[in-house]
Amino acid sequence: MTLTRRRLLETAALAAAGFAALSLAPRFGFLSQAAAQEADQQELLVAGPLGDKSEGKADAPVTIIEYASLTCGHCAHFAANTYPALKEKYIDTGKVRFILREFPLDPLAAAGFMLARCAGDDKFFPVVELMFREQRQWAYAEKPVEALQNLSKQLGFTQESFQACLTNQELLDGVNAVRQRGVEKFGVNSTPTFFINGKVYRGAIEIADLDKILQPLLDKA
């Protein structure tokens, strides 16, 4: 799926009724490790044209890369229920670097990521957190673009800056490129997909799961 800015604006409204309902449904009921799939860590760490958005020390012994969609229910669950503990236990203590990469499942999610980028480097993660927290309000809205614009006002966007962001073709191309590379290079086909020091894990993930995965890696560091 490669989006153009015209298609983004024309189909975002339709996405709420179709794509959003689909993507908010569970993709996987449990965490699964695709044991046969392991990506080269150095290739994984190559950022897309927009640069990576990350939290934690650049030289942390463990790197987690999440491919997420803002209209994905399991992604929202991870953001609300797992990420705070992950941040407190591992990211803030210098043990884990966390990278979030855009993998929009629909035009509405692409628009949300574009707004997060437009908000500024220091606001990317707070904006993403807000969008996940309010996901059901804007992703299921009868008029999703209007709901997204109302949400953007909380972030300081005006009508003009909102429109300017969503019609920025270079930005949209960058989001597309991140998604496309995930598909073609690393076999990402659903959200959330996590790469933890190169090993891929798909679906719902809880902090207890992460504890079991991370501790052996940290013991080796």
Domain segments of the chain as ranges: 5-220
Residue ranges of the chain with per-residue pLDDT less than 50: 1, 11, 13-30, 34-36
Model pLDDT, residue 221:
84
| CA atoms within 13 A of residue 162's CA, in its CB half-sphere | 17
Contact between 177 and 48 (Cβ < 8 Å): yes
Architecture of domain 5-220: 3-Layer(aba) Sandwich (3.40)
User: Model pTM?
Assistant: 0.86
